[in-house]
Amino acid sequence: MSAVETHDAVDVIRTKRDGGAVDEDALRWMVDAYTRGYVADSQMAAFAMAVLLNGMERDEIRVLTDAMIASGERMSFDGLGKPTVDKHSTGGVGDKITLPLAPLVASFGVAVPQLSGRGLGHTGGTLDKLESIPGWRAALTNEELFAQLQGVGAVVCAAGSGLAPADKKLYALRDVTGTVEAIPLIASSIMSKKIAEGTDSLVLDVKFGSGAFMKDVDRARELARTMVALGTDSGVSTTALLTDMNTPLGLAIGNANEVRESVEVLAGGGPADVVELTVALAREMLTLAGHPDADVEDALADGRAMDSWRAMIRAQGGDPDAALPEPCESHTVTAPASGFVTRLEALPFGVAAWRLGAGRARAEDPVVHSAGIDLHVKPGDEVTAGQPLFTLVGEDAARFDRALDALEGAWELGADAPETAPLVLERITA
């Protein structure tokens, strides 16, 4: 005889449908029963839609997150003998910040376990970018992960399937039921994996604007506050930066070209916006890890961060000196007139890079590591007629037309320089 279930999915759905708060036992049961396959996809879809429409209270979100963590394994870095700090970005166009950031923070004797994902849609995943490096591998055992944190200090690798399996199942369902945007579900999805990962502290880079998951700054702020509260309630020191993603970050959008740009930053150069955000996030991470006075810029200038990068790449089988994939086709768009660049809208540039092969439409699709877009200008730059604005690169010239279609109306020139907006809008703490 099968065990008697302690709750009923229909009751839980009705409570949330009618705007009520689901009690702790019932919510924990709902997540567990769904993970076990007792609660049907159709029932969980109805519950997710009710959450999207009616929201959840802080305590409900905490319980939901905790139940998702409890569905799988919890990692612990207690035996490392050094503080652990992680960073999560909600994703954007040209967002390669993890690449220079992890080795930079690790160069101060802090462990940085960056369990990352692959890209789906217009944003390339961190693992896809790093796989441009010959020999580099994303899959590590827990023993390899621990040993690399102890030695090198920084790891960027694939998250194991054992972390928050309830989230994996629920995320796939949200994707096909129009409930991805529900802030309680986004927050619990991200934070269940990050808390299960076992890090002492966490810095969130929550983006808003054209190329961000959250277009609206107020919704991005709400998401940031919800996630900071979740981390805090779970005993993980958590802060967030609210950052602008209306314009692509840096000058490279793709995979191999973003690795090149990251190495430039680690060599003490690179685009000003990438350096600014890397430094801002490094300061947050090092403050939480007990190094509030760390000379972050010095570590970029004197080669310590680069040494840390090279050790991190080597530890995962990669050759930091190997040539990165080069495109065999390119197409440059030039300025039709003289003036100032007033706008480069992030989302269309992300979609164009994706159409060139830098991202994937389906989880099983390969990524073209050499494909993407190299920007030659940023908003505020003055240009003359005929000057290159950006170059599409890839393996297949037949893809250029569709990429150019995506960029129709995505950039503008004007007579006057635009007003500059701050890259980091605000800092959110508990």
**Considering 7, 28, 88, 129, which one is annotated as catalytic?**
88
**Considering 169, 174, 291, 355, which one is annotated as catalytic?**
174
Average pLDDT over residues 112-133: 83
**Considering 66, 86, 167, 273, which one is annotated as catalytic?**
167
Sign of the alpha-carbon dihedral angle for 31, 37, 43, 49: positive
Q: pLDDT tens-digit profile of 141-164?
A: 989 999 999 999 999 998 877 889
What's the Cα-to-Cα distance from 280 to each of 242, 293, 309, 424, rounded to whole Å?
11, 13, 19, 8
**Considering 16, 193, 283, 304, which one is annotated as catalytic?**
193
- Does residue 1 have a pLDDT over 60? no
What confidence category does residue 117 fall into, taking pLDDT thresholds of 50, 70 and 90? confident
What confidence category does residue 181 fall into, taking pLDDT thresholds of 50, 70 and 90? confident
pLDDT over 70 percentage in the chain: 98
- Residue 120 is predicted with a pLDDT of 58
Q: Burial, 8: exposed, middle or buried (Cβ in 10 Å; 0-12, 13-18, 19+)?
A: middle
Q: What is the DSSP letter of 79?
A: G
What's the Cα-to-Cα distance from 240 to each of 23, 186, 280, 380, rounded to whole Å?
29, 15, 11, 28
Establish whether 244 is a catalytic residue: no
pLDDT over 90 percentage in the chain: 90
- Does residue 361 have a pLDDT over 90? no
Average pLDDT over residues 411-416: 97
CATH number of 329-414: 3.90.1170.30
Establish whether 174 is a catalytic residue: yes
Domain definitions of the chain by residue range: 9-55, 78-322, 329-414
Establish whether 96 is a catalytic residue: no
- Residue 365 is predicted with a pLDDT of 81
Q: pLDDT tens-digit profile of 269-328?
A: 999 999 999 999 999 999 999 999 999 999 999 999 999 999 999 999 999 999 999 999
Average pLDDT over residues 89-109: 96
The Cα diameter of the chain in Å comes to 79
CA–CA distance, 177 with 197 (Å, rounded to integer): 28
- Residue 119 is predicted with a pLDDT of 66
Cβ 428 vs Cβ 242: under 8 Å: yes
Among 347, 353, 402, CA closest to 374: 353
Q: pLDDT tens-digit profile of 364-395?
A: 788 999 999 999 999 999 999 999 999 999 99
Average pLDDT over residues 404-423: 96
Average pLDDT over residues 46-60: 97
What confidence category does residue 124 fall into, taking pLDDT thresholds of 50, 70 and 90? low
- Does residue 58 have a pLDDT over 60? yes
Establish whether 88 is a catalytic residue: yes
Sign of the alpha-carbon dihedral angle for 29, 33, 38, 43: positive
Question: 423 CB contacts (<8 Å, ≥6 apart)?
Answer: 243, 244, 273, 276, 277, 280
Q: What is the DSSP letter of 222?
A: H
Q: pLDDT tens-digit profile of 196-209?
A: 999 999 999 999 99
Structure tokens at 201: 């502290």
Cβ 123 vs Cβ 95: under 8 Å: yes
Establish whether 71 is a catalytic residue: no
- Residue 264 is predicted with a pLDDT of 97
- Residue 346 is predicted with a pLDDT of 97
- Residue 121 is predicted with a pLDDT of 62
CATH class of 9-55: mainly alpha
Average model confidence (pLDDT) across the chain:
94
Question: Does the fold of domain 329-414 match that of domain 78-322?
Answer: no
CA–CA distance, 257 with 168 (Å, rounded to integer): 30
Residue type present at position 324: L
Fold held by 78-322: Pyrimidine Nucleoside Phosphorylase; Chain A, domain 2 (3.40.1030)
**Considering 189, 210, 262, 308, which one is annotated as catalytic?**
189
